[in-house]
Amino acid sequence: MLTMVKEKTIAPTEEKAVVYRTKELNLWYGEHHALKNIELDIYENEVTAIIGPSGCGKSTYIKTLNRMIELVPNVRTSGEITYRGRNIFDPTYRVEELRTQVGMVFQKPNPFPKSIYENVAYGPRIHGIRDKKILDEIVEKSLRGAAIWDEVKDRLHENAYGLSGGQQQRLCIARCLAIEPDVILMDEPTSALDPISTLKVEELIEELKKNYSIIIVTHNMQQAARISDRTAFFLNGEVVEFAETDQLFSTPADKRTEDYITGRFG
Amino acid sequence: MEKIMPKLLLLTAAVSMFTTLGIVFTLLFETFTFFSRVSIVEFLTAKEWLPWNEKSGSFGIAPLVTGTLLTTAIAMLVAIPVGLASAIYLSEYATERTRKIIKPILEVLAGIPTIVYGFFALTFVTPLLQKIIPGLEVFNALSPGLVMGIMIIPMVASLSEDAMSSVPNAIREGALGLGSTKLETAVKIVLPAAASGVIASFVLAISRAIGETMIVAVAGGSSPVLTFDVTQSIQTMTAYIVQVTTGDAGYGTTIYYSIYAVGMTLFVFTLAMNLLAQYISRRFREEY
C-alpha cells in the first residue's frame, strides 16, 4: 500500500478527478431490491454526503464501495463500480487491496480491545511494517491527523476502552489514517456522539478533505449542509438527486428532495 | 406453593453442596489417617511408589504424578491445537448452517463413555502406533495420552468457540475495513479479544485430563515409574486408585488409606486448575 503508485485518471470534462464511478448498480438482499440503478461519481478531495431517510440504502451503498456489504449473507449485486478506473467487483481485484486504499469509519466507535498505540499500529503492522521507529512515527502522525494526539500522548499504552465515545471515534479515524488511504468512507460517524464530540469530528473532516476524498453517510441534514461539497439524496434505493450541496439545499430540482430537506418526511 | 418452591429448590441446591463438603471431609479425614502411618515427607519426596511391598514399601507420590502429567501433556499437545483450530474455523469461517451441523456432532463426541475411548486406545491406537514405533510397550503413556487428547478436543473447541463468537462483529469489521484478511482478523484481533475464555478452556481441559481415569487405567498400564519416556508403561494417580479399589486390599491397610492421599493430591491439582481458570476469566475479562 505504501509503495503502490496511485494512478489518477482525470476525466476530460471534469476539473476534478473522479475517484469512484458507479454505473447501473443494483443490489439485492435475498429478494429485497435495496439499490436500484445507482449512478454516482465521487470526486477527489471533496466531501460527498449521502442523505436520506432510514432504509433508503445510503449505508448499503457506502458499504458496497469497499465491499464490506459482502459480509451480509445472500447479497447480490449487478452493475459496476470503478475505483480509480478499476472495477471493484473484478475477481482479480483483492478485497484487502481495495480496503487498504479505502478506509472506513463506522457508525459506532469500534476500537480493538487493545492499547491506543496498538489500535493505530495494527493497520501498518499487517501491511508489513515492523520497524518500531517507523511505527512510532506513523502512530504519532495519525493521532495528530485525527486531532487526538494531545489528549492521548501520555497514555498511549492504556486500553482504548478507557477513552470517551468521541475520543474513541477519533481514534478510529486515526487508525484509518495510519494505513494512508486514498478515500475515507464514514458511515454516520457522529450518530453515537454528543454535540461537542460531533463538532470536533466535523472540524476534523474539514481538515482531512485536503488530503483525502471523503464520503459520509449522515442522518443529519444540517451536518451534510455544513461539511459537504456535494450531496446525494437517496430514497427507496434510488438516487433522487445528486448536486453540489449549496444547490441541492437552496434550489432542489426534485420535489421529493425539497419535501425531505424541508422536513416534510423522513 | 409459591412460598414453598424457593425453599424446595434451595434444598436441592444444598444437597449437592453438602455432598461436596462430605466428600472433602472424608478425603481429609482418611488422608490424615494415612499420614499418621506414612510420613508426609516421604510421600512428597520419595522417588518410588511401591505400596504392595509389605516390608520395604515406599510411598513416594512422584511416579504417579509424572505418569499423570505425562499423559496430560500428550493430551494437551493434541487437544489444544486441534481444538483451537476447530474453534477458529467454527467461529470465523463456518456458515451458520455448517456450525449448526458440526457443533452437535462435537458434543456427541464429548458424550462417548470414556471406557470406550480406553478400549479404542488399547486395541486400536496402540497396535497402530507399534507399527510406527517398534519399541512401544502394550501399555504406554503415548496411546492413552493421544486418545485422551481426542476426547478433550470438543471441550476446547466448544468453549473457545463460545468465547470467540461473543466478540462483537463491529470489531471484526474494524479489522477487515483496514484490509486485514480473514485469518489476520481471526488470529490478531478476535483471538486476543477472546483470550480469557480461550485460556480458561485450556485450563479446564488440563483439569479434565488430570482427572481422567478409564482411558489411562485401561491403556496406560500399572507401573508407577518415575520416567518421561512415553513408550513405557506408566501409572497415573487415577489409575492407581482404580487398581486398589478393584483389587483385594483390605479395609484399614496402609494401601487402603493411600488411595485417599492420592485422591487428595488429585483433588488439589484439579481444584488449583479450576481456580486458575476462574481467575483467568475474571482477571482478563474483556469489556466491549
ipTM: 0.88
- What pLDDT score does B285 carry? 62
Number of residues that make up chain B:
288
Which residue on chain A is closest to B286 by alpha carbon? Answer: A113
Instruction: Give me B12's grid cell.
Output: 436441592
d(CA A51, CA A219) in angstroms, rounded, equals 6
Asked which of A21-25, A94-98, B251-255 is least confident by mean pLDDT, the reply is B251-255
pLDDT band for A233, please (50, 70, 90 cuts): very high
How far does B216 lie from chain A, in Å, by closest CA? 41
Name which CATH class applies to A46-58+99-261: alpha beta
Q: List chain A residues with CB under 8 Å of B96.
A: 73
- What pLDDT score does A266 carry? 63
pLDDT band for A13, please (50, 70, 90 cuts): very low
Residues B218-235 pLDDT 10s = 999 999 999 899 999 999
Residues A105-142 pLDDT 10s = 999 999 999 999 999 999 999 999 999 999 999 999 99
Taking one residue from A and the other from B, the number of pairs with CB-CB distance under 8 angstroms is: 68
Asked whether the predicted pLDDT for residue B287 surpasses 70, the reply is no
Instruction: Give me B148's grid cell.
Output: 485422551
| pLDDT (mean) for B161-165 | 94
Residues B233-246 pLDDT 10s = 999 999 999 999 88
Please indicate whether, in this complex, the C-beta atoms of B177 and A104 are within 8 angstroms of each other.
yes
Please indicate whether, in this complex, the C-beta atoms of A104 and B180 are within 8 angstroms of each other.
no
Please indicate whether, in this complex, the C-beta atoms of B173 and A68 are within 8 angstroms of each other.
yes
Asked whether the predicted pLDDT for residue B24 surpasses 50, the reply is yes
Q: List chain A residues with CB under 8 Å of B181.
A: 96
Query: Model-level pTM?
Result: 0.85
Asked whether the predicted pLDDT for residue A5 surpasses 80, the reply is no
Residues B53-79 pLDDT 10s = 766 678 999 999 999 999 999 999 999
Please indicate whether, in this complex, the C-beta atoms of A127 and B181 are within 8 angstroms of each other.
no
Q: What is the Cα Rg of chain B in Å?
A: 22
Residue A17, judged by CB atoms within 10 A of its CB (0-12, 13-18, 19+), counts as: middle
How far is CA A257 from each of CA A37, A221, A224, rounded to the nearest angstrom? Answer: 18, 11, 14
B195 SS3 class: helix
> If you average pLDDT over every residue of chain B, what do you get?
92
- What pLDDT score does B54 carry? 67
Q: Spell out the domain ranges in chain B.
A: 58-283
Please indicate whether, in this complex, the C-beta atoms of A73 and B95 are within 8 angstroms of each other.
yes
- Specify the long-range contacts of residues B223-227, CB closer than 8 Å, at least 24 apart: B223/B139, B224/B48, B224/B49, B224/B50, B224/B63, B224/B64, B224/B67, B225/B63, B225/B67, B226/B47, B226/B48, B226/B62, B226/B63, B226/B66, B227/B63, B227/B66, B227/B70
Q: List chain B residues with CB under 8 Å of A123.
A: 178-179
Residue with cell 477513552: A163
Residues A156-193 pLDDT 10s = 999 999 999 999 999 999 999 999 999 999 999 999 88
Q: Which fold does the domain B58-283 belong to in CATH?
A: MetI-like fold (1.10.3720)
Q: Spell out the domain ranges in chain A.
A: 46-58+99-261
pLDDT band for A205, please (50, 70, 90 cuts): very high
Q: What percent of chain A has pLDDT over 90?
A: 85
